[in-house]
Amino acid sequence: MKCLETRRQHGCLKMRRYEKDNGRRVKTMEIPWTLWLRARSNVMAGLQGYEKTEAARDRIAQVKVLLAEGNKSAYIAAVIGVTPQRVRQIKARSKEIGK
């Protein structure tokens, strides 16, 4: 991952933007330890959902890269581990957004 930007937000908070190896960009927030101790239980409760969502977003990014290379839906589905229908769905949504 490559850090694209670091900003200070509201005094003691730092926001960072990263670009992952697959080209997807993510934002993070660095918080002070004392604030983390107060927020930890809520964050930990949502961690599993966050990890699943990030994995899904990474798969979508991989599908888009393979589609841009001109690969067929069946091949992409086999390589990434999704259904051909899901590949076609991602392709259709990409075209809608591109309009």
pLDDT tens over the chain, length 99 residues = 899 999 998 788 899 999 988 888 999 999 899 989 999 999 999 999 999 999 999 999 999 999 999 999 999 999 999 999 999 999 999 887 765
- Stretch (H or E) spanning 30: strand 25-30
Q: What is the pLDDT of residue 98?
A: 65
Whether residue 18 contacts residue 28, with contact meaning beta carbons closer than 8 Å, is answered with yes
**Does any domain span residue 29?**
no
Number of domains in the chain: 1
**Does any domain span residue 59?**
yes
**Does any domain span residue 16?**
no
| Lateral strand order in the sheet of 13-19 | 2-9, 13-19, 25-30
Per the structure, the complete domain to which residue 72 belongs is given by: 51-99
Q: What is the pLDDT of residue 71?
A: 92
**Does any domain span residue 39?**
no
